[in-house]
Amino acid sequence: MNAPTSAKVLAPTVKLLINGQMVESQTTQWRDVVNPATQEVLARVPFATPQEVDAAVANAKQAFKTWKKTPIGARARIFLKLQQLIRENMKELAALLTAEQGKTLPDAEGDVFRGLEVVEHAANIGTLQLGELANNVANGVDTYSILQPLGVCAGITPFNFPAMIPLWMFPMAIATGNTFILKPSEQDPMVTMRLAELALEAGVPPGVLNVVHGGEDVVNAICDHPDIKAISFVGSTKVGTHVYNRASLAGKRVQCMMGAKNHAIVLPDANKEQTLNALAGAAFGAAGQRCMALSVAVLVGEAQKWIPDLVEKAKTLKVSGGTEPGTDVGPLVSCQALSRVEGLIDRGLAEGATLELDGRKPCIPGYSQGNFVGPTIFSGVQRGMSIYDQEIFGPVLCLVAAEDMDQAIEFINANPNGNGTAIFTQSGAAARKFQEDIDVGQVGINVPIPVPVPLFSFTGSRASKLGDLGPYGKQVVMFYTQTKTVTERWFDDDVTSHGVNTTISLK
């Protein structure tokens, strides 16, 4: 918890959302929400009490009784309205996001936009939550399936996409007929709360969406709560594994999207300029704080000669406050994140990697207090080095050399993570081989950050994910519903009875 400051007395408080009301927490535990470019205290966020978590769940449980029976068209229209409100408030949402998280204004709009796509998808719930029917599965017998909501569901979100990831969760959970408890990141909860306000304005009824703030204790209370049926978590592997184990033990359905180490293979036949642009954008954009950031490039053969050009490209990126025009790389989210990333760069050097570009302690006019690291590039990176084995979550790109594509694929498949990967090549045959042989859930072919749109699902794999179903798209409809099958027969009064059937067969 942060030490009390005089600014703390003045900073506004972030509210809880319980039963349709924005309420002040009664907790004694508060944390500052800090602008990472300036250290200005923007707000104070409460760590909700156990009673407040219980109240949120009790209201959600009560609201479920009527919400689950609300016609599907009425549910869909709320998300039509919400997408309109998000569009109308896009600039304000992006500004709030930049202030508390640090990413540039255009990237903050991208954050909101990628969430907006899920809201648009939720507005199609009428066609997404359809069951199936098989006619005449036996004499006069039909079987059909219906997808019923589970009850109270919950979502726990990370700091790096405070608009997109909450919007991955509550729209689809609510559209499918569930009620929801959202626990945003305590580092940047303000834009999430603004989205919750817009959801109320769009017509989400009291108790259907609730928001509680906090850290470990609140997350554990959600994992343990007997009235919560399913949990969607996005965040680090350490916390996600804990949430998965604890909530699964408590009998819940759980999906966890977690940490990553995303590799790109660069073949020497790739379009050089496009590839260097893609690598720089995907490695250093959002200050490397994306779960799908490209943090390792495997340069095959002659492509190893591109390192000086890549360094020159990275040097052209502007590091500054996210509100400054033309900024490419904003600050890291916190002072702790800054010292962690700087510490890992130190270890990279100590462990023998070659520092091609050193982004530590950049001089940023007007932002002397900001948590900045500029683009940083290491070559000669190998397995066993901390900068390779750990997720850095900063603007640091590791370069690895490979003799051929087979060696590159083998190297990537040996990494435990499976969130995203990409190949840069002009060869269709090479791209197809990569798509077939790479053991990573989301593949880009000349696309550096292959995050699927919500017509599909987010499909990170292996150590980057626990649980079978992804957080949006078709898969999430299955996650937030229980399939019930109904087998029915209607008797005509004039049909002769077949007598008692003591076998398992339907006749």
Q: Which residues bind ligand NAD (CB under 6 A)?
A: 156-161, 183, 185-186, 215-216, 219, 234-236, 239, 242, 257-260, 291, 391, 393, 419, 458, 460, 464
SS3 204: coil
Instruction: List the structure tokens of 40.
Output: 């200005």
Q: What CA–CA distance (Å, rounded) separates 446 from 453?
A: 17
Q: What CA–CA distance (Å, rounded) separates 59 from 70?
A: 17
Q: What CA–CA distance (Å, rounded) separates 71 from 78?
A: 11
Q: Please, what is the minimum distance in Å from the beta carbon of residue 212 to ligand NAD?
A: 11
CB-nearer residue toward ligand NAD: 81 or 242: 242
SS3 257: strand
Tell me whether residue 106 is exposed, middle or buried, using C-beta atoms within 10 angstroms of its C-beta: 0 to 12, 13 to 18, 19 or more. middle
Residue 205's CB is within 10 A of a number of other CB atoms, namely: 17
The separation between CA 49 and the C-alpha centre of its own chain, rounded to angstroms, equals: 26
User: Under a CB-based contact definition with an 8 Å cutoff, are residues 93 and 86 in contact?
Assistant: yes
Q: What CA–CA distance (Å, rounded) separates 47 from 348?
A: 36
Q: What CA–CA distance (Å, rounded) separates 430 from 432?
A: 5
Q: Please, what is the minimum distance in Å from the beta carbon of residue 195 to ligand NAD?
A: 15
Q: Please, what is the minimum distance in Å from the beta carbon of residue 124 to ligand NAD?
A: 22
Q: What CA–CA distance (Å, rounded) separates 150 from 146?
A: 12
User: What 8-state DSSP symbol labels residue 15?
Assistant: P
The closest alpha carbon to 87, from 79, 99, 98, 75, belongs to 79
CB-nearer residue toward ligand NAD: 159 or 378: 159
Q: Please, what is the minimum distance in Å from the beta carbon of residue 107 to ligand NAD?
A: 14
Q: Please, what is the minimum distance in Å from the beta carbon of residue 219 to ligand NAD?
A: 3
Q: Please, what is the minimum distance in Å from the beta carbon of residue 388 to ligand NAD?
A: 16
Q: Please, what is the minimum distance in Å from the beta carbon of residue 457 to ligand NAD?
A: 11
- Token pair 């940023």: residue: 364
Q: What CA–CA distance (Å, rounded) separates 487 from 171?
A: 31
- Which residues neighbour 251 within 8 Å (Cβ) at sequence distance 6 or greater? none
CB-nearer residue toward ligand NAD: 185 or 481: 185
CA dist 245 to 28, 213, 472, Å? Answer: 29, 22, 22
First-to-last alpha carbon distance for the chain, in angstroms, is 67
Q: Please, what is the minimum distance in Å from the beta carbon of residue 500 to ligand NAD?
A: 55
CB-nearer residue toward ligand NAD: 216 or 406: 216
Give the largest CA-CA distance in the chain.
91
Q: Please, what is the minimum distance in Å from the beta carbon of residue 351 to ligand NAD?
A: 21
- Which residues neighbour 34 within 8 Å (Cβ) at sequence distance 6 or greater? 40, 41, 42, 100, 334
Q: Find the residue with minimal CB distance to ligand NAD.
A: 235
Helix (H) or strand (E) run with residue 264 in it: strand 262-266
Instruction: List the structure tokens of 229.
Output: 């049926």
Residue 113's CB is within 10 A of a number of other CB atoms, namely: 17
CB-nearer residue toward ligand NAD: 160 or 379: 160
Q: Please, what is the minimum distance in Å from the beta carbon of residue 282 to ligand NAD?
A: 14
CB-nearer residue toward ligand NAD: 40 or 217: 217
The closest alpha carbon to 418, from 258, 238, 283, 239, belongs to 258
Task: Give backbone dihedrals phi and psi of 63, rounded to 5 degrees, phi first.
Answer: -65, -30
CB-nearer residue toward ligand NAD: 42 or 307: 42
Active site residues: 291
Residue 20's CB is within 10 A of a number of other CB atoms, namely: 15
Give me the torsion for CA of 325, 33, 237, 28, rounded to 10°: -170
